[in-house]
């Protein structure tokens, strides 16, 4: 085996290394869960506190105009646009990803009134499947064609109104080919709806070049917007003017303060807002997104691939050398970095306890039932030295079976 380059050398020439100091991570923690809840960027606490104290406390109702609260969903969207290959004015931010997905899928269906099939995959993130089920409740003739893991979604599109997929699989990290699948959807007469929750902020994305019609994504993962941060919605210029979404609330109205009795959608993507936006959450996300100013997504993706690659190699070679646990640990993520997203999953029958033992050593990953250990690598705040320490800790815990203690095996609610 070719010896690995020293991590210090990699860190020294990492163009993103300087961003680490923009985050308030506790010392002694190696945080490999930024794909689940991003770390706290410095400045967010102060900004939120100032908005509460000054804009709410003193500005009161006038802050809707004077502090720009009204435009926040679009302004925050403009910060996300360059990360996903969208243009200014094409993204609106608000509500959870689940709600945003409901709105765009329903809008896609309304653009294909003669069709009654949604193609998705059974391994999709559960909330995405639950949302589709909820849409079906209102449209009992809708068929939800959830394909099995190894079936090519392109082969199941006949008669479909929409293809609804997650770009990076939350379990395995597999990256879907947005362009190929969107094109296949269009050839079949369907619209392409993408959930970018596990891709935004870690992959190079190109919504325009990728041929997507609608996209939604999560604000609290690699975007670091904080727990329950609002999600984003993008609609292609070609479809947005005719898109109608069913959660037609007053803030998505063309003129909310006219108090018209009938709904008329705002022009552009703003129509995907429902009610009054979550101002404090939007402010937190707005501040968190400042970290991305001047950051090249090409650098982010290159570092992410290098880090996931190094982690896999170091874990697998460490286990092989220790002679313990080999065969019990199985890489579930793709080996090819080109189709692997920002996280790495290993399966192990004792995965839950192993993750707990790692957390006790300050290495924070997570566990997804039944047996997946998931490690997310946020290139903005992780060093190569930390990758090595985390991999070595994992090898050590497996090789010595130090996970095999009651305090690590007892399950808690959030895993
Ligand atoms: C994280 C994630 C979500 C989150 O949904 P919320 O409603 O914002 O909690 C949705 N879909 C996917 C694919 C995700 O990874």
- What the block records as the tokens of 34 is 């930024």
**How do residues 65-110 score in pLDDT, each as one tens digit?**
999 999 999 999 999 999 999 999 999 999 999 999 999 999 999 9
Regarding beta strands 143-147 and 117-121, do their DSSP bridges make them parallel or antiparallel, or are they unpaired?
Answer: parallel
Centre of ligand 1 from the C-alpha of residue 127, in Å: 7
pLDDT of residue 31 exceeding 60, the answer is yes
Q: Number of helices (H) and strands (E), helices first, in the chain? A: 13, 13
Q: Using a 6 Å CB cutoff, which residues line ligand 1? A: 96-98, 125, 127-128, 166, 170, 195, 197-198, 218, 231
The arithmetic mean of pLDDT across residues 254-266, rounded, is 97
Q: What is the pLDDT of residue 320?
A: 93
Centre of ligand 1 from the C-alpha of residue 218, in Å: 6
Q: What is the pLDDT of residue 323?
A: 79
- What the block records as the tokens of 262 is 């009938």
pLDDT of residue 375 exceeding 70, the answer is yes
330 is catalytic: no
Phi, psi of 304, deg, nearest 5: -60, -45
Exactly one of 33, 340, 374, 377 is catalytic; which is it? 374
Helix (H) or strand (E) holding 388: helix 384-400
Helix (H) or strand (E) holding 183: helix 178-187
Give the three-class secondary structure for 249.
coil
Question: Across the chain, what does the average pLDDT equal?
Answer: 96
Distance CA 291, CA 169 (A): 25
At 200, the pLDDT band (50, 70, 90 cuts) reads very high
CA–CA distances in Å: residue 147 to residues 118, 124, 152, 183, 327: 11, 10, 8, 18, 30
Give the helix ranges, DSSP H, for 188-228: none
The arithmetic mean of pLDDT across residues 35-63, rounded, is 98
Angle (CA) 121-238-113 rounded to 5° is 60
Q: What is the pLDDT of residue 411?
A: 84
Distance CA 3, CA 365 (A): 26
Closest CA to 402 of 349, 350, 364, 331: 350
Q: What is the pLDDT of residue 1?
A: 53
CB 96 within 8 A of CB 230: yes
């Amino acid at each position: 085996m070719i010896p690995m380059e020293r991590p210090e050398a990699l860190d020294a020439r990492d163009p993103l290394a300087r961003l680490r100091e923009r985050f308030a991570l506790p010392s002694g923690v190696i945080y490999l869960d930024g794909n689940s809840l991003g770390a706290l960027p410095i400045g967010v606490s102060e900004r939120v506190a100032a908005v509460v104290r000054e804009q709410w406390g003193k500005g009161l109702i006038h802050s809707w105009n004077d502090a720009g609260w009204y435009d926040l969903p679009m302004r925050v969207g403009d910060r996300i646009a360059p990360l996903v290959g969208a243009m200014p004015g094409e993204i609106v931010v608000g509500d959870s990803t689940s709600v945003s997905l409901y709105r765009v899928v329903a809008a896609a269906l309304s653009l294909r009134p003669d069709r009654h099939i949604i193609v998705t995959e059974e391994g999709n993130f559960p909330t995405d499947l639950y949302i589709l089920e909820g849409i079906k409740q209102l449209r009992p003739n809708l068929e939800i064609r959830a394909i099995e893991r190894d079936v090519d979604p392109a082969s199941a599109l006949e008669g479909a109104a929409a293809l609804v997929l997650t770009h990076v699989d939350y379990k395995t990290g597999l990256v879907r080919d947005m362009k190929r699948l969107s094109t296949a959807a269009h050839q079949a007469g369907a619209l392409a709806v993408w959930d970018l929750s596990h891709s935004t902020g870690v992959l190079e994305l190109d919504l325009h070049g990728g041929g997507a019609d609608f996209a939604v994504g999560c604000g609290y993962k690699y975007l670091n917007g904080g727990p329950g941060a609002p999600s984003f919605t993008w609609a292609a210029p070609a479809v947005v003017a005719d898109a109608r979404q069913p959660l037609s609330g007053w803030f998505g109205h063309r003129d909310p303060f006219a108090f018209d009795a009938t709904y008329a959608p705002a022009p552009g993507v703003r129509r995907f807002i429902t009610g009054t936006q979550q101002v404090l959450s939007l402010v937190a996300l707005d501040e968190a997104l400042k970290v991305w100013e001047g950051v090249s997504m090409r650098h982010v993706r290159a570092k992410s691939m290098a880090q996931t690659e190094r982690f896999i190699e170091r874990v697998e070679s460490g286990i092989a050398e220790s002679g313990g646990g080999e065969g019990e640990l199985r890489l579930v993520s793709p080996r090819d970095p080109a189709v692997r997203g920002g996280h790495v999953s290993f399966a192990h029958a004792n995965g839950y306890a192993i993750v707990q033992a790692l957390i006790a050593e300050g290495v924070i990953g997570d566990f997804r039932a039944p047996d997946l250990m998931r490690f997310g690598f946020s290139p903005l705040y992780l060093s190569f030295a930390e990758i090595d320490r985390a991999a070595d800790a994992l090898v050590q815990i497996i090789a010595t079976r130090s996970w095999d203690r009651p305090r690590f095996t007892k399950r808690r609610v959030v895993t």
